[in-house]
Structure 1
Amino acid sequence: MYSIRPYKKRWYEYNTQHTIINSFVQLSKSTRLILVNASPEGWSKSLTINKYINHALTVTKIHHIEIHEELSIGKLSEILYLLPELDSLQIFSLSFSQSTCLSKEELEGLLFLSTKNRITKLFLKKIALIEELYFLMEIFPHINHLQVNLIYSMDIELFVRLILIHIMTKSNHPLRLLCFPIVAADDEMVQKLEKMINVENLLFDFMMKRVINEIYLQWK
């Protein structure tokens, strides 16, 4: 099912409250595909998810995708292979286990993704391990905007510290904006994070702000 709706601000449009998208180029690159059920069981034998995506591509190019369920690495590779011009990816969660052994085909698929995809914005809504985030950052090496819902058991300061240390180990990593929604976010929390970053020299030219229950960390 396809629908045409008035354009609304999306999760990756940080600090654009007064920006109006009115050019043809901007609008042509705003097309979004939403997959509510990407599992094989949710599709009929005559209409697979691959056929659905290919049919959508006969109508328009797709630059943004939202996947509202947990996906395996193999299925994610399969979907993204069909959509090489994606700029943003929102995914509910990724089936990932440190004990999982990837097949040769899965490894080849991941290598293809890491070298060919153009995704610059990633939103992961649910993670169980920080390693999942590291894993996705390797698959999508061009990410400059990362939004993630925090691990329930992880301290916010530890989370920010681990992410910043991780990108420090990568030469010229493009990530420049980190966003994390927190129900109990307040100005005191922002001040504590700013102090930690300064004391530990994790960043030197950065800005942090809170918008309702979302904290944004941006740097140069």
Structure 2
Amino acid sequence: MFYLFLENNKITKLSLRGIPHFEQMFLIMNLFSRIKFIELQQISDYSVEPIIRGALWKIQITNNNHLKPLCVHVDEESHDELEKLQKMINSESLLEDYIIYRRHDKYYLKWK
């Protein structure tokens, strides 16, 4: 029955809060393969860099073509790591054609 639910689910937007570990985020991304938008709160005490790296890595290995924008909440006081994130994405070839920006306490990442 659960497998049938996974095959036929139509969930396209997902907001995850209170996820203590990356593995749980990856499991959820696997279960809901038709997700088009995912919003993550900062996971435990991780910085935004490993969260975005892990999500993009997971998208690449699962070949999830549905998911395009990614939103990650950060602490309002946290440093602006936009340049650092761009360098990471480019140096690790995680995405080719993308836009990343920060608005208030959220980083948005969109790609084609």
- Scaled by the length of structure 2, the TM-score of the pair is 0.90
Contact 1:185 1:214 in 2 (8 A): no
Equivalent position of 2:29 in the other structure = 137
1:117 corresponds in structure 2 to 9
Which protein is bigger by CA-based radius of gyration? 1
Task: Supply the RMSD in Å over aligned alpha carbons.
Answer: 1.4
Point out which structure has higher relative CO (alpha carbons under 8 A, 6+ apart): 2
Corresponding residue of 2:106: 214
The reply on whether 1:173 has 2:74 as its aligned counterpart is: no
Gaps of 5+ in 1: 1-107
Code of the aligned partner of 1:144: K
How far 1:167 sits from its partner (Å)?
0.8
TM-score relative to the length of structure 1 = 0.48
User: Does structure 1 residue 148 correspond to structure 2 residue 79?
Assistant: no
2:97 counterpart of 1:205? yes
Question: For 1:152 and 1:172, how far apart are their aligned partners in 2?
Answer: 25
Opposite residue 178 of structure 1, the aligned amino acid is L
Flag structure 2 segments of 5+ consecutive residues without an equivalent: none
Task: Give 1:123 shift.
Answer: 0.2
- Which letter does structure 2 place at the counterpart of 1:165? W
Sequence identity percentage: 32
State the shift of 1:154 in Å. 1.6
Alignment of 1:162 onto 2:49 = no
Equivalent position amino acid for 2:87 in 1: K
Q: Answer yes or no: is the 8 Å Cα contact 1:185–1:210 preserved in 2.
A: no
Amino acid corresponding to residue 95 of structure 2 in structure 1: L
- Partners of 1:194 and 1:174 in 2: CA distance: 22
**Contact 2:21 2:44 survives alignment (8 Å):** no
Matched residue SS, 1:169 = helix
**Aligned-pair distance for 1:185?**
4.3
Alignment of 1:7-22 (within 5 A): none
Structure 1 residue ranges (4+ consecutive) displaced by more than 3 angstroms after TM superposition? none
